[in-house]
Amino acid sequence: MNSRLLRALLVGVSMTASVASYAQSSDAQTSAGMSSGPTTTSKKATPADKALAKSVRRALSKAQGFDVSGVFVRARSGAVTLSGTVKSGDQIQQAEDITKSVQGVTSVTNKLTLFHGGNG
C-alpha cells in the first residue's frame, strides 16, 4: 500500500515539474525577446488592421454575385488572410483578386474552401 502511494506521489510530482519547466522555458524565451512563432508581429489587430479588414469585406460584398456571408477577413500590417467558405470554386479566386485590388493590401493568403452544405 505504501509503495503504491509513493509511486502515485512521484508520478504527480514529476508531471507537475515537467509542466512547470515547460511554462518557464516559454516565458524565458518571450522575455528574452525570442518568439515561439515564425514572425514577431503582434497578434492583436490595430485600428489600421481593422479598417483594412473592413475595406476588404466591403469590397467583397459589392462584387456582383459574391456571397460574403461565410467569409472571414483578417488583416495584419497589410497581410490579409481569407478563410471560411464560398458556394462556388470561381468565388475562391474572385475573392483573392478583389482583395488584392484593395488599397493597403500587401499580400493575400487564401484559405477559402467550398461550402458543401449539410452537417458533414
pLDDT single digits (tens) 25-68: 444 444 444 444 444 455 788 999 999 999 999 999 999 989 89
Q: What is the pLDDT of residue 102?
A: 97
The cell for 105 is 493590401
Query: At a CB cut-off of 8 Å and minimum separation 6, what does 43 contact?
Result: none
d(CA 55, CA 103): 9
Highest mean pLDDT among 7-21, 37-51, 105-119: 105-119
Cβ atoms of 73 and 84 within 8 Å: the answer is no
Q: What is the pTM of this model?
A: 0.62
d(CA 20, CA 33): 20
d(CA 68, CA 77): 22
Strand partners, 84: 71, 112
Residue 96 gets the label, from left (phi > 0), alpha (psi -120 to 50) or beta, of alpha
110 pLDDT band (50/70/90 cuts)?
very high
Query: At a CB cut-off of 8 Å and minimum separation 6, what does 7 contact?
Result: none
Mean residue pLDDT across the chain: 78
